[in-house]
Structures are given as C-alpha cells and as structure tokens.
Structure 1
Amino acid sequence: MSPTPDHACRPAATPRTAPPHASCLLLAAVAVTPVAAQTGPLPPAGGATPTRLATVVVPGTTRQADAFDVPASVDSEDARRLDSLNVNISDALTTVPGLVARNRQNYAQDEQLSIRGFGARSTFGIRGVRLYFDGIPATMPDGQGQVSHVNLETAERIEVLRGPFSALYGNSSGGVVQVFTADGTEPTELRAGIAGGGNGTLRANLGARGIEGPFDYNVGFTHFQTDGERDHSAAQRESGNGKLRWTGDSGASLSLVVNTVNIPGAQDPLGLTREDFEADPTQVAAPAETFDTRKSVSQQQAGLVWEQPLGGGHSLRAMGYYGQRDVLQYLSIPVFVQTASPLQAGAVIDLQNEYGGGDARWMWDGELAGGALSLTAGVSRDRQRQHRYGYENFVGDTLGVRGALRRDQVDRVDSDDVYAQASWTFHPDWTLTAGARRSEIGFDSRDRYVTADNPDDSGRAEYAQTSPVAGLLWRVTPAANVYAAWGRGFETPTFSELGYRFDGSAGLAFDLVPARSRNSELGLKLRPRDGVAVDLALFHTETRDELAVATNNGGRTTYQNIDRSRRRGAEAAVDLDLAPAWRLRTALTWMQATFESPFLTCGGSGCTEPDTPVAAGSPIPGVPRRTASTVLAWEPAETGWRASAYGRYVDDVPTDDLGRDAADAYTVFDLSAGYVFDAGRSRIATFARVDNVFDRQYAGSVIVNDGNGRYFEPGLGRTLTVGADLRWR
C-alpha cells in the first residue's frame, strides 16, 4: 500500500539548487511508516501541526460520528495552521490522501482542488468537487464552485469526503470539501495576527469569539496582499466571516452566518510554455502585459440555519441562504480574433450573479430489531441567476480596456433535490448504511444581444439523475473496521462548458449530457493503540460520457462527451505518535486515470474541428499518478519551542489529452520553527517558516489543454515567512 514508483528516483524538474534524488528521500521516509487516519484532538494555541480530527459529520447528514465508524473515506483537518500565512485552503489539506490541492500562485484564478481525479481538468475555479461553508453551498447548482471567500481566521476544521457517499450531495460530487466556523468560547477571546515574507506578502487579521447568555459568536477579518513571485501577479484580498448562534433551553438553535470577500484587480500572469518556464519561471506571458489581464471579485453572502429537537429521537433542520457575486475579468484574446467573427463574445467578462436556496430535513434516531437505526430525509432547492456581459478588450489602439458590447445574456440554473438515508446496526459488529438522492437540474439561457449577424442563442436543457449509495461496515475487532461502499454519481456541464457549440454556430451546447459514474470502494481502518491510526482504501470508478475538450481556438473552448473513462487507485494515511513530543503524519496516493474509449480532439492551434486521435488508455490530464506527503512535528509542551518539517512528492502531471507534455515530478521540503509565550491572560505564538528549502524549480499546477501551450504555472521558490499570533482572554 506504499508503492515506490520505478522512476521516482530519476531527476525530475530542473532544480535551482536541489539535492540529488530528493524524491527518494521522501518516499524512503514514508515507506517505513505505518499508514494513518483521522484521530487526535485540536492542538493547543500556537500548535504548528495540522490535526486530523476524530469526529466528523456523517455523509449526507449533520450528525456527528467518529470517522472510525463511518463506511467511507473521510478526513477532518484543523483549518488554522499557525506556522503559515493561513490564507489558502490548500495549506491545510497537505496530508489528505486522494486529494490534490494546488496553490496556483495566481489570485486571479481560484485554487485547484481535485479528488480522486475529479476536478483535475478545471482551468479556473473548482468543478467536479462539491464545496460547503458552514453547510451553505459554495458550489453553484451547475457544478462550478470557488473557495476565495473562505476565511481561515474563523474556521475550525475542514472535512474531506471521498468515494461513493459523495453522491448524496448531488450534482458534481466527485468529492466533498466542507469548512466549519469555530463556535464561541468562554471566556471571550480576542485575536490578532500578522505574518509576512518574500514577494511583498503580508497577512493581517483581527477576530473575536465569545459567549453572552444564550448567544455565542465568532467574527474575523483578514487582509492579504502580495506582489507575487512572478511578474504581473500582484493581488489583494479582504475577507470577513461571522457566525452568531442562539441556543434555547429546549436545545433549539438558530445560527446566522455572514461572509464577504473583495479582490480588486488581481493581476493574471497566465501560464508559461515549457520553453519560457525552463528559461525563467518568474516571468509573465507576454499577452498578460499587452492586455493587462486581471480579475476583480466582490461577494457577499448570508445564511440562516435552524435546528430543533422534537423529542422521541426526532429533530428538524432548515437552512436558507442568499448571496451576490460579481466578477470582472480581462482576458488576452487578440484583437483580430474578436473582429474576425460576429459571433465572438469579446474578451472582457462581466458577470453579475445572484444565488440562493434552502434545505429542510427530518432526522430520527431509534431502534429496529434491537439495533440502532438512524433515518434522514429531506428536500433542497438551489438557484443561480447570472447576467453575463461580454465586451471587446480594446478601444481603437488602446488595449486592456472595456470596449464595445459583444454579449448580453441571462443564464439561470435551478436544482431541485430530494434525498433519504438510513444507517442500521443490525448486529453489534455490522452496520448497513444506504441512501439515495434524486436531482433535477434545469438550465435556461436568454439572449439579449441579437443582431442580423448574431442570431438569438436562447435555449433550455434539463437533466435528471437518481444517485443510490450503500455501504457495509464490519467491526472485525475493537481496533479494526473493514467496509465496502458502492454508489452512482453524475456531473452536468457547467454554464462555462455550455458556452459554445461544437460546430461553431450560435447558441449554447445543450447537446452535451451529464457524465455518469459508478463508484466502488473497499477500506480498512485500524486503531491498534492510542496514538496510532491507520486508513487504507482501494477505489474504482467507471464513467460514461466524460466531458473532454473538442476544440480550443480563439479564446473559445468547446467540449464533447467521451464514451468511457476510468479512475482507480489506492490511498493510505498514517497518524503516529513517535514519542511524547514527536508526531509523524503521512499520506500516500496511487491513481490511474485514463480515457477508456478513443476519440478525436484538436491537435494544434487554430483547429476548428477535432482531427487528432486520442487512443484508448491515454491518461486523463491534470492527474498525477503518485503523490506523497509527510509532516514530522516536535512539540514538547503547550508553550516554548516547537518545530515541524514538511515534505511532498508529486509525480508527472500530463498537460493535455494528447499527452504531448507533462509537468515533471518534483519533491519539495518546508521547515518551520516557533516559540509560544504564555503570559496568563494572553498567549503569543511566533513562527518562522522556509518554504521550498532547496529552491526547487517546479510547476505547482498546470492549465489543462491550454490552446496556446501555456500549461505551466510555477510553484513557489524558496521563501521565508515570519509571523505572530496573539490570543487574549
């Protein structure tokens, strides 16, 4: 379960100053380590090590349970790492097997998240993976999501669900990531923090949480800014989050969650070709400066959650939310491309989004035939209305400005779901869990830009899917659980993928159909003694009608359905107390993601019709075959000195469907050390951290199927960050 690749010790990416065979060092370290899972309490204030928590939300419900007793691969991670900038969600997810979280070093695009290969082909934002923030969807009903509004200053934990039970969350659920805000504390706690480092990077935050009578609260604000390691990659982001909860004497509670984010004019350096990447990874693609590529985002969101126990094991939960998200983005599409066709939609995207929805569910805990039985049933509705404008990115000879209108349409997507789930311990050693979700999703587009040369593009499409899941857990011994799970899932095209038709004619590509998957998983969870946890999982997914690129020309990407694809692999993780002050955590993933049916795609720039064959068995781009990560932490006491060492290995990452190039495998190491001062009512945690200690040159992420061959987004070079976190009670 800890396979060593036969080519892992070869030289990988060109090092700036890299030790030979770095990947061998990391893999040797993890190969001798037991494999881990979810265990352990939150670290004390100032703790440097991310923690895998024991208690998680049962998939598809809001019930709490020990992850050891859940028939699924699920991890719960400490959201706040006090030895880092604590800005990007990817920083907190480094040791989750099966998940690839990439910080693109480009704040004009969201982070990349993929789970077991789902979501790997997304060129912007997050798709294929379902996202939630305090139970409120961060994924729109069409399947497109983002995490830019997640404020880690107030967050307590991040849960990651993989495998068949993800389907209980509906459309585009190749995996599920949920972020939870921490509850208020007694006594009141005030927080302030600051951290900074290379490339003009600065993070400052303020927060408070406490309890006042029946109310508890947690509010926080974070300012982040950076000049960027690459030219033309400066960004600024302000985010805030607040949770206010009232709890009544009967156990009823009402929670208000409000969050906001503002990203003004984040510069987009675009990807680099291999030649440019190898010559100078800090440079910017020339079109980025020519057209001043950039993006601004403004989002405000609020949600209410009501929970009411009814007695007799019954309880109700209702949630409602509403939000607005505006995006203004300047692209680098050349002028001659925009003027060549009256159907071209321009290169300035102006999106005005309104979204909202609700969920209501009934839950019951009781007995059946002497065994514990829990039931959940509910309904949900989500709606998104997007007014999309497109403009030329030039006025006369002036580039990178808003020009003439080329698109005006209103897109709407509605999702109506019903679901049910049951879990029954029919024998002390056996638990059966099963459920299903019925989803009906309607897309509607109304064209308001109609001319003699640009006909009405309005249209509508409807998709429906019933997704059943089932899992069986066997308690072999008090320290060993074995489980098997199976389910069906689906993924509709997003509005971005529906944007252009395969044949180049006007209108949306409503001929695309959802990708439908059959997922199976076999797992083993071990807890042989305190301080040791082991999780192993084998998974296999068969997908019909996988979405893949058909053409990529003139800033337009069109898509097609591929008959069959497959994802299969193995995961392993360990959480091991080596000694009273030492802790080791490791995560390993081996995965094979391939197209199982041949198809045609475009083989060169300017291609308007697929003309190059992709053979069956070709790898799905964006998916590394092997990944490994390790954290070794030394923390002798709640106060005083502490230190951590991080290592991660990522295998070659194919960049396009034809397999013409790949981001080279790499291994990087990070080191951190800090000191925690305890002054009675106040506590100060300081840290110094060096990322990429050996200054390795590597591609931290790839832009899959980029039509210009600019696939590579450079990772962070050697960078020093220092900071301090104050908590006062």
Structure 2
Amino acid sequence: MKGSRRTALIGLALAPVVQAQDATLETIEVVGAPLENASPALLPATLDRLYVDDTDSLQVGLGEALARLPGVLVRERQNFAQDTQLSIRGVGARATFGIRGIRLYLDGIPATLPDGQGQLSHFLLASAGRVDVLRGPFSALYGNAAGGVIQVHSARIDTGDAWRLRAATGSHGAYDTSARWLHAGSGYDASLTAARFASDGFREHSEVERNGLNGLFGFDAGSASRLQIAFNLFDSPQTLDPLGLTREQWREDPSQATSAALLFNTRKSVSQAQLGASWQLDLDDGSEWRLAAYRGERDIEQFLSVPVFAQRNPLSSGGVIDLDNVYDGADLRHARIWSAGAGELSLTLGIALERLDQRRRGFENFIDERLGVRGRLRRDERNSVESRDHYAQLQWAPCASSSLLLGLRRAEVRFASRDGFIAAGNPDDSGSVRYAETTPVAGLVHRWSPGLRGWMAYGRGFETPTFNELSYRADGGAGLAFGLRPAISRSFEAGLEGAAGDRHAWRLVAFRGDTRNELAVVRNVGGRSSFRNVGSSRRQGIEAQFDLRLSEVWAVQATATWLDARFRSPFVQCSGPGCTDPATPVPAGSRIPGLAARQAHLRLDWTPWQAWRFALEAEALSSVRVADAAGERAPGYGLTHLLAERRWHSAGAAWRAFLRLDNLFDRDHVGSVIVNEGNGRYYEPGPGRTVSVGLQWDFSAQ
C-alpha cells in the first residue's frame, strides 16, 4: 500500500457521543453534540454503556463487545477482508462488507464517512475503556445513515501512570499482543496503545495481519476551556479472502475456500491515518462553545475474483479495486441552559461540515495467463461527497421527573464524479447528484422513582447510498448509479426500565421503523454489489434485557430480541450468475434477508473466590434468509462457551490469566451470510470448537 500517505495529519475532531446507564438510573450521563446538554436520566432513548477494559478473549474486533446487546446483531464472517457484519434493529444487514446505516465514532473521530460507509477494522479493543451504543429515533440527530450510533472511548485514569502488557494466543495460529500507557497529571492526561493481531484463519486462504496505534491527549487550556487531541494509525498489509461457499460446499467442508479465491488469490490491503481535536469553552452565563474538526486518509487495494471473460466487456471496470480516500470535517456548536421555573430549559445549535475526496481506479486482475495480479487500467474516477448539516436540540424539563426533548437536523449531501477513463465503448460517465432531507425527532420521558422510568420517542431519518452502492449499476453499465434515491425512515419506540440499587436492572423496549425507497441488493457477483430502490419496508420488534445479582457469587445477564423485518412492496431481482435484467419476483411480505427473527444471549458468572471467576455463555440465533427471492435459509444455531479467569498480585503489579473455550460442543454453524450473492455462495461458516489463553500484566504508579 501507499506507505508515504501514512503521514502525520493536522486537524481538529469532534463527534457525537452518547453514554448510558450503570446499575441505577441516577447515573445516566450524556455527552457529545447534539445530545450533550440533554439532562441526565431524562433522555427518551435506548442507551447502553459497555465496559470493555478487561476482555476475556482474543481482542479480534469490536463485535465481541457488542454481541450481548439486544437489538444488535453481530455476525463474524471469519473473513477479515470483509470486516464484521453488524446491524441494529435490522438496519445495516445488506452490507456485503463494512458497516452501512450506523454511525461509528472513535474518541470523537468519525469512523463513518460522509456517504454513510463505515469500518470497524481500526477499532482497537486494547485501547478501549468503554463502548456507548444508542438505538432508536434519536439516532437521526447524528445525520445521514444513523440507524444507530456506536462510540468507542479510550481508557483513561484520574491520576498517575498505568501500564498494561497483554498477550493471548488461540486456535488456528491466532495471537494478539498489545501495550498500553495511561497517564494523568495536573491539567492534562494521555492514553497511548499499540496492538497487533494475526491469524492463519479458520478457513483456507484466510490469513490476516492487523497493526494499530491509538492516542488520546487532553489539556486544560485555561480555567474554562479544554483541548483534546486524538489520532489513529492502522495497517493491514495483506488479508486473504476465502469468499463465500455454496450450501453443498459448507456441508462438505466448512473450512475450505472457494476455488475462485485460490485461482485469483483474492485479498485486500488497508492503511489508514487520522487525527483530530476539539476545543471547548465554558462561560459563566451557563453557555458553552465547541469548535472541532478532523482529517484522515484511508487507502484500500482489493483483488476480486471477477472472471477474465467478464472483463472483455468494454464497460467492465476490471477485477482490482484501488481506492484512495481523503476525508475531513468540522463541527461548531453553541449550547446554553436556563432556569425555567422549577425546571430547566436547554438549547443546542450547531453546524457540521464533512467532505470526502476519493480516487477510484479499477484494473484487470490478470496479465496474459497470470491471474491475481494488477493488469491494465479499466476505471479512473475522481469522486467527492460534501455534506452540510444544521442541527438544533431543545429540552424542557418542567420538573425533576419529566422531560420533553425535541430535535431537528437539516442535511444536504452532494455526490460528484469526474470520469478520467474514456475509451471506445466506454463513454464519459461524469455526473453528480444532490440529496437533502430534514429529520425531526421528539421524545417524552418520565421517572416515577430513581429506579423506574419510561419513555416514548418518534423520529424521521434518512440514508443516502454510499459510493460503494453507487459504484456499480444494476444494468451492468459503466458509471455510477446516480438514479438511486435515499431511503427515508420513520421510527417509533416505547421503553420501560428499572433498577434496584446495584443488584438488579431490567429493560423492555418495543420499536418500529417504516422505510420508503428501501435500498436492496439486486445482484452480487465477483465481490461487486449492485443496488436499487425497491419500495417500502418495515422493521418492528421487542428487546428485553435483565441483569441480576443472585448472590455474592452468582450473577446472570440475559438479553433477547424478536424482530420482524419485511419488504412491504413487491419488486423483481436478478438471480443466477451474470444476470443484468432483474426478473425474479420478490412478493410483498417477504422477510428481509440477513436478519434473524429471534436471538438471545445468556451469561452466568460464578465467583466462588475473590481471585477466581468462571462463566458460562450461551447464544442462540434463528435461521435467516440468504436472498430476497430465494427460499433458501442459513440454519439457526445455539452455541455454548466457557471461561475461567484467575487474578493475583505480585511485586506491586496485577496479573490476570484467562482460558476460554468457544463453541464447546463443536457445532457446525453459519457465522454470516453474503446477501444475494449472485453465484449462490451465500455462506460464511463459523469455526468449530476453539480455545484461547491469555495473560495480562498491569502496573500503576500513583
């Protein structure tokens, strides 16, 4: 990859951050524009705060920290070239790689580009202290493609220094190592983490190597202001892609790679560098100003399995993708709080600007008889996305137990493409398209007691096509699919949650989201997905969550989700290899593929002695459709995992060792599916029984 591009970047950063409850409702905190000034414990939204400072498995990715949440579906592909598959309440399931429809942030720096495309690969669990997850209508306040919001915060300390070294190894040649340093002094603090993960892979042709460096630094810039600087470097020099399997191949040998993956040596390389900071000023009149921005670069090179004969078409863009992305943004916000009788009134006004400049090139994946190499240039574009958002949020709390929260965001997103590859049979495909949408949200919350509250919320959101979805037209023609329209959603939720001190907590939430101009995969061949608007859809369901402290040594966490996600409009779709003319009917009422109707997670912790902890985890997932038109399903599964952990102190240091067995009963299962894969290779198998063992050393100087 382009190592010279991975240079020091200069910028400023801020992103929305949402934090949720601990054991009692009194401890809810909310920070980050636009919800920063919402009163604690009076936010009408579904929020979770996950503490991930001590993970008990290989630190592969963020997905392992999110899998226990209701409404959040995490499917591990065992294919690091395509990243984790993540959806929230049914949003994001169509993604064949990366993350769609969900806003992601790392220490205030967006990991979601202005077009709505996001990545989890550079999130280092070794550096994280907690993960905050927002679901429901108020996600729309965060702009385009905000079907949910996930924010990762680096670990920090109050004073002194803390060092951590961690090493773990497991099945299939997997290992991760990391080193972390935390420091806090008078008026400043720092966090710095370096991590490396590598694995031979559960499947053939699935080796991976990932290296990352995260840093976060905060400074008091006076009596009423603070400056925070964050940076991230990520490098994955070569990750092999085994591709999906047919059902027959999965049953025969789930660890195999498809022959096309071996023939073309399918693989992906990624490098990323980003830096940002935010400056906040608090004034004596109860108001504050925050100015922030960020800048980053992300370069991707991917070798696909597009057959040679398909590239004979003059409109083909080849079988090698080369993307250079440069992105930046800025956020300016003003907030103020007034007394209003016995309560409070707060107002937040802000403007957010984002830009992505992308050079997309395509090359043939062959030279003469050699396959899997970079050949002739077949595509050369200069693409850009610019977004300009204005937002406002008003909260009125007439008393300490009730609150009304209103929000409004006006977003304008412009896509443009300049074609630099014009040849016989391949005309100039330059063009542009502009999307604009206003998204209001409103919610009511009431607390009957410090441990019991209920809320209702309604909102409107939207999701533009990403550049990856615009890049390949459904008719097989060259140029971008500028005819795609943004998906517009209306969502509602009602929730009730309670807590009894620090021993028990529970939550029940009902939700529904209706979408028009739903974006769906029309065909998916050779690693390239084509999309179209297919009418309306509905996602509705119920989430349940229980955290119970049964005794001093026993604790139970249980979550369950019921989701009914269906297309409400009929449409037609491609089926079979090489199809460019959608003709296979998908009737109204069909389930949306890639989503499970039911999922559940149970964790039982046993701490018989202070130094020892044991845990049993069980997870279950119902079957999912693999394509819009096909009746074929990936079967559901139930898996059991075991954990043993030992802690001790020696020579002023804290030690932690763990042993983990995943998929204890060695069940065959499908880890994820590639929705609407045109060759019928829908299945990405999950591993059988695996073992991992790790050792962690912590030393603090106060």
| TM-score normalised by structure 2 residue count | 0.94
> Which of 26, 39, 42 is the aligned partner of 2:22?
39
Residue 61 of structure 1 aligns with which residue? Answer: 35
Q: Does 1:402 align with 2:374?
A: yes
Once residues 503 and 281 of structure 1 are traced to their aligned partners in structure 2, the CA distance between those partners, rounded to angstroms, is: 33
Which residue number corresponds to residue 683 of structure 1?
A: 654
Equivalent residue, structure 2, for 1:327? 300
RMSD: 1.7
Measure, in 1, the Cα distance between the counterparts of 2:144 and 2:181.
Answer: 36
Aligned-partner Cα distance in 1 for 2:478–2:659: 55
Looking at structure 1, the residues matched to 42 and 687 of structure 2 have their Cα atoms a distance apart, in angstroms, of 39
Residue number in structure 2 paired with 1:429: 401
1:697 Cα deviation from its structure 2 partner = 0.7
Which residue, 439, 443, 450 being the options, matches 2:415? Answer: 443
What CA distance in whole angstroms lies between the structure 1 residues aligned with 2:124 and 2:307? 36
Aligned twin of 2:502? 530
Q: Does 1:647 align with 2:618?
A: yes
Q: Partner of 2:542 in structure 1? A: 570
After superposition, what is the alpha-carbon deviation per residue over 1:444-490, rounded to whole angstroms, capped at 9, x for unaligned?
Answer: 00000011221001000000000000000122333321111000000
SS in 2 for 1:497: helix
Which whole-Å CA distance do the structure 2 matches of 1:630 and 1:56 have between them?
28
Aligned position for 1:28: none
Matched position secondary structure for 2:172: coil
Aligned-partner Cα distance in 2 for 1:569–1:126 = 22
Aligned to 1:516: 488
- 1:299-338 aligned within 5 A: 299-338=272-311
Q: Tell me which residue corresponds to 1:29.
A: none
1:137 aligns with 110
Look up the equivalent residue of 2:357 and give its one-letter code. R
Q: Counterpart amino acid of 1:387?
A: R
Q: CA separation in 1, counterparts of 2:336 and 2:451?
A: 28
2:346 is equivalent to residue 371 of structure 1: no
Check conservation: 2:575, 2:678, Cα contact below 8 A.
no
Q: Which moved more, 1:53-62 or 1:241-250?
A: 53-62
Moved more, 75-84 or 428-437: 75-84
Of 251, 259, 264 in structure 1, the residue corresponding to residue 232 of structure 2 is 259
1:723 is matched with which residue? Answer: 694
Given the alignment of the two structures, is residue 102 of structure 1 paired with residue 85 of structure 2, yes or no? no
Letter in 2 for 1:75: D
Kept in 2, the 8 Å contact 1:290–1:399? The answer is yes
Structure 2 residue aligned with 1:700, among 671, 678, 688? 671
1:173 corresponds to which letter in structure 2? A
User: Cα–Cα, structure 1 residues 592 and 59, in superposed 2: closer, same or farther, change >3 Å?
Assistant: farther
In structure 2, C-alpha distance between the alignment counterparts of 1:97 and 1:103, rounded to whole Å: 17
- The answer to whether residue 637 in structure 2 is matched with residue 666 in structure 1 is yes
Tell which deviates more after alignment, 207-216 or 613-622: 207-216
- CA offsets, 1:119-166, max 9 Å, x none? 001000100111111121110111100011111111111111111001
Matched, 1:626 2:598: yes
Aligned partner of 1:91 among 64, 74, 93: 64
| Distance (Å, rounded) in 2 between the aligned partners of 1:59 and 1:524 | 25
Contact map agreement 1:621 1:659 (CA 8 A) in 2: no
More displaced stretch, 243-252 vs 153-162: 243-252
The equivalent residue for 1:349 is 321
Please say if 1:247 is aligned against 2:220: yes
Larger deviation, residues 525-534 vs 444-453: 525-534
* Corresponding residue of 1:506: 478
Whether the 8 Å CA contact 2:38–2:346 is kept in 1: the answer is: no
1:606 equivalent to 2:578? Answer yes
Please show how residues 158-169 of structure 1 align to structure 2 within 5 Å. Answer: 158-169=131-142
Q: Aligned partners of 1:426 and 1:38: how far apart in 2? A: 22
Deviation, 1:53, is 8.5
Q: CA deviation at 1:86?
A: 2.1
**Residue of structure 2 in register with 1:148 after alignment:** 121
Normalised by the length of structure 1, the TM-score is: 0.91
What corresponds to 1:70 in structure 2? 43
Q: Residues of 2 paired with 1:550 and 1:723: CA distance?
A: 44
Report the equivalent of 2:101: 128
Q: Which residue of 1 aligns with 2:17?
A: none
Q: What is the rounded CA distance, in whole Å, between the counterparts of 1:199 and 1:54 in structure 2?
A: 41
- How far, CA to CA, are the matches of 2:490 and 2:86 in structure 1? 21
Corresponding residue for residue 157 of structure 1: 130
Contact kept? 2:321, 2:360, Cα under 8 Å: yes
List per-residue Cα deviations over 1:24-70 (Å, max 9, x = no partner): xxxxxxxxxxxxx94249xxxxxxxxxx995454783335865x532
Q: How far has the Cα of 1:515 moved from its partner?
A: 0.4
Task: Give the 3-state SS of the residue equivalent to 1:297 in structure 2.
Answer: strand
In structure 2, C-alpha distance between the alignment counterparts of 1:65 and 1:293, rounded to whole Å: 51
Quote the offset at 1:275 in angstroms: 0.3
Amino acid at match of 1:591: L
Q: Distance in 2 between matches of 1:287 and 1:674?
A: 42
- Give the share of equivalent positions with the same residue, in percent: 46
Cα distance in 1 for partners of 2:127, 2:61 equals 13
1:109 to partner: Cα distance: 1.2
Structure 1 residues 549, 465: CA separation in 2 closer, same or farther (over 3 Å shift)? same
Deviation of the 1:579 alpha carbon? 0.8
Q: Distance in 2 between matches of 1:531 and 1:433?
A: 30
Q: Secondary structure at the match of 1:579?
A: coil
Q: Which runs of 5+ in 1 are unaligned?
A: 1-36, 42-51
Partner amino acid, structure 2, of 1:60: P
Deviation readout 1:170-200 (Å, 9 max, x if unpaired): 0001111111112244220111010001100
The number of equivalent residue pairs is 680
How big is the shift at 1:603?
2.7
Going from structure 1 to structure 2, the CA distance change for 1:368 and 1:56 (only over 3 Å counts) comes to: closer
**Is the contact between residue 59 and residue 161 of structure 1 (CA under 8 Å) also seen in structure 2?**
no
Matched, 1:453 2:453: no
**Residues 231, 154 of structure 1: alpha-carbon distance in 2 compared, 3 angstrom cutoff:** same
Q: Which structure 2 residue ranges, 5 or more long, are not aligned?
A: 1-19
1:429: Cα distance to partner?
2.9
User: 1:273 and 1:723, CA in 2 relative to 1: closer, same or farther beyond 3 A?
Assistant: same
Query: What SS class does the counterpart of residue 141 from structure 2 fall into?
Result: helix
Picking from 487, 506, 516, the partner of 1:544 is: 516
Q: Find the residue that maps to 1:311 and give its secondary structure.
A: coil
Match in the other structure for 2:5: none
The one-letter code of the counterpart of 1:709 is G
Q: Look up the SS of the partner of 1:635 in the other structure.
A: strand
The corresponding residue for 1:215 is: 188
Q: Distance in 2 between matches of 1:583 and 1:459?
A: 58
| 2:266 corresponds to 1:290 | no
Contact preservation (8 Å) 2:521, 2:529: yes
Aligned to 1:190: 163
Alignment equivalent of 1:481, drawn from 453, 463, 480: 453
CA drift of 1:636 comes to 5.2
Q: 1:589 aligns with which of 561, 572, 575?
A: 561
- Counterpart among 460, 465, 468 of residue 496 in structure 1: 468
1:238 aligns with 2:204: no
SS of the residue 2:260 aligns to: helix
1:222 Cα deviation from its structure 2 partner: 0.5
- Work out whether residues 652 and 664 of structure 1, in 8 Å CA contact, stay in contact via their aligned partners in 2: yes
Measured at CA, do residues 59 and 247 of structure 1 come closer, stay the same or move farther in structure 2, by a change above 3 Å? closer
Partner of 2:179: 206
SS class of match (1:563):
coil
Q: Could you tell me how far 1:365 is from its partner in structure 2? A: 2.2
User: C-alpha separation between the residues in 2 aligned to 1:147 and 1:607?
Assistant: 32
Deviation at 1:553, TM superposition (A): 5.1
Residues 58 and 523 from structure 1, CA distance in 2 versus in 1: closer, same or farther, beyond 3 angstroms? farther
| Contact 1:417 1:438 (8 Å CA) reproduced | yes
Q: Partner of 2:3 in structure 1?
A: none
